[in-house]
Amino acid sequence: MKILVALADGFEEIEAMNVIDILRRAGIEVVTAGLKEGLVEGAHGVRVLPDTTLDRIDQQDLDGLVLPGGAPGFINLGKDERILRMAREMNQANKYVAAICAAPSVLIKAGVLQGRRATVHPSGEAEVKSCAQFSSDRVVVDGNIITSRAPGTAMEFALKLVEVFLGKRKMEQIKAEVLAISKED
């Protein structure tokens, strides 16, 4: 399994790094790609050197796409036609398309949330309600679309991705290894 985490300037560090770390712990191949060459700076000043750039990605090799939120990261993702096209094409191919915090707005712009069940950061609720069935759940899975609410839900989001990709047993193993606690515990 190979998952792309797209990084744009202004990405939310907790959301991106948590997903990358947890998925890699689970044995999933994670590729990080910047929208441009070089370092990408997060919303809180953390600089990351992605594995590659979006232009070098062959999406045929991917099983899923993860979009972290963060401001202005989600805005920068939503302005990039390559991201919008990739989200549309991956959704049409029934591959996984996941977004956290404000990034579900990018999925709206790409046209993949229409009629779906989804969640988003509270600041984006009205936008999601305009085209999708909004849920206040911390993580929402609707087929191949997975959404989550905010930096505080990043661990649950990452663990849910592991569960969806590799099954509950693997998710429970990773959860135990990192001593993660959820509302259900």
pLDDT at 107: 98
pLDDT at 174: 97
Q: Distances from the Cα of 32 to the Cαs of 98, 99, 176, in angstroms?
A: 14, 15, 25
Answer whether residue 183 is part of any domain. no
Answer whether residue 44 is part of any domain. yes
**pLDDT per 10-residue tile (average), the chain, 185 residues:** 98 98 98 98 98 96 97 98 98 98 98 97 96 97 98 98 98 96 57
> C-alpha 172: how far from its chain's center?
20
**CATH code for the domain of 136:** 3.40.50.880
Answer whether residue 25 is part of any domain. yes
Identify the three-state secondary structure at position 71: coil
Cα separation, 26 vs 155, in Å, equals 13
Our count of domains for the chain comes to 1
pLDDT at 143: 97
pTM of the model: 0.96
pLDDT at 27: 98
Measured N-to-C along each axis, helices 168-177 and 154-166 cross at an angle, to the nearest 10 degrees, of 140
Q: Active site includes 101?
A: yes
Q: Quote the domain boundaries for residue 106.
A: 2-177
pLDDT at 184: 57
Query: Which member of 101, 106, 158, 162 is catalytic?
Result: 101
pLDDT at 183: 53
Answer whether residue 120 is part of any domain. yes
